[in-house]
Amino acid sequence: MPLPSRALDPAPPDPILGLAEAFRADPRESKVNLAVGVFVDETGRTPVLPSVLTAERRVLEAGASRTYLPIEGRPGYRDAVRTLLFAPGHEAVTSGRAATAQTPGGTGALRVAADFLLQTGGPRTVWLSQPTWPNHQQLFRLAGMAVRTYPYLDATGRRLDADAMLGELRDAAPGDVVVLHGSCHNPTGVDPDVSTWHEIAEVAAERSLLPIVDFAYQGFGDGIADDAASIGVLAGAGLEFLVCSSFSKNFALYAERVGALTIVAQDAARADAALTHVRIAIRSNYSNPPAHGAQIVETILCDPALRADWEVEVAGMRSRIRGNRGAFVDALGAAGLPGEWEPLRGQRGMFALLGLGAERVERLRREFGVYMVGAGRVNVAGLTQENLPRVVESLAAVLAS
């Protein structure tokens, strides 16, 4: 049998990782990478966190066997993940109604979540914010879900339109899945405040929706515990929901693919039963998770001193991102660029959405070697004192036309 004819028609490059390849291939020395969501320091490097190096040394010295992990991952790691999601002593943990499986990154968690839901509940509709991380669309569609969108930003493109968001979600059907960004919304940097999270939880409860919380930037917004306020609100509202954690960013373990899927159910029996189906979703896909990155995360989270070091390192990344936001807004204002930039200063996480439109983004890349995603998503961490003037000049040029 020949390959399907569609397989011979090359697919477009990935809207984010494809840009990373294009950037690597770009010979211009002046190029600036503000595309893929990877933290970089002032020298443009993605550092390995000192806590990670210490933990890795310990893991290697311990010389543990490389036999298969359990399908749902390392028990100590699974417990440790819950200490990041919930305040100490939280009843969702003590009652056993939060069950965690280790997954390869946050993307792996999302795909396992989708497979688990389809496997156990038949066809489903999933609601995504408009805009959202581009991979959400294809991930849920290819898993077999029907994708719908709910509005997210107001007409300025700088603030949440909570009424529009909640109004649309009130039209969702019972059993529909709604993807929420736990903190540091990707690509907008615009998060609901705690009172809006309560309203979201109310609508989800009223309409019997099942939230999937995509939680890839914990600690990059207001702090590790503060960023988990969204999870606390959903748990407090008595909802059942799923959390997809990624430790790519906050542990800078991108290439190790470390993540987790946590099922928060009404009680421990329901959570445990659901986990048995998650095991099938995992076993039929990649069998069982890779060990190394999860061992590092577990080692850090389970050693109070190392955990404290890591929290300081996360705070350092957060503060660089915040400083960059301020410097960016100041520079845009000083250059007199047309547009409302001030709200970007108070947004959260790595991303700011400039709302430039695809043509201007393309011009920035082609003419100036400044790489952004989609309609102008900027990885704020990628700005440096050296490249900032060039980025602002390039923006001035494309905004002038």
Residues found near ligand LMR in the complex (CB under 6 A): 16, 36-37, 133, 135, 186, 216
* Closer residue to ligand LMR, CB minimum distance, 243 or 275: 243
Of the candidates 176, 197, 227, 249, the residue annotated as catalytic is 249
* Closer residue to ligand LMR, CB minimum distance, 233 or 350: 350
* Closer residue to ligand LMR, CB minimum distance, 125 or 135: 135
Minimal distance in Å, beta carbon 143 to ligand LMR?
Answer: 17
* Closer residue to ligand LMR, CB minimum distance, 20 or 225: 20
Residue number, nearest CB to ligand LMR: 37
Minimal distance in Å, beta carbon 358 to ligand LMR?
Answer: 17
Of the candidates 115, 176, 191, 214, the residue annotated as catalytic is 214
Are the C-beta atoms of 160 and 152 separated by less than 8 Å? yes
Of the candidates 133, 176, 191, 227, the residue annotated as catalytic is 133
Minimal distance in Å, beta carbon 85 to ligand LMR?
Answer: 19
Cis check for the bond before 187: say yes or no (omega within 30 of 0): yes
For residue 249, indicate whether it is catalytic.
yes
User: Token pair of 268, please?
Assistant: 């421990």
* Closer residue to ligand LMR, CB minimum distance, 132 or 230: 132
257: left (phi over 0), alpha (psi -120 to 50) or beta: left
Minimal distance in Å, beta carbon 139 to ligand LMR?
Answer: 11
Strands (E), 210-258: 210-215, 241-246
For residue 14, indicate whether it is catalytic.
no
Non-local CB neighbours of 332 within 8 Å, separated by 6+ positions: 339, 341, 392, 395
Are the C-beta atoms of 298 and 291 separated by less than 8 Å? no
Treating both helix axes as pointing N-terminal to C-terminal, what angle do 292-302 and 75-85 enclose, rounded to 10 degrees? 60
Are the C-beta atoms of 185 and 350 separated by less than 8 Å? no
For residue 330, indicate whether it is catalytic.
no
Minimal distance in Å, beta carbon 168 to ligand LMR?
Answer: 23
Which residue in 136, 81, 134 sits closest to 103, CA to CA? Answer: 81
End-to-end C-alpha distance for the chain, whole angstroms: 52
The residues annotated as belonging to the active site are 133, 214, 249
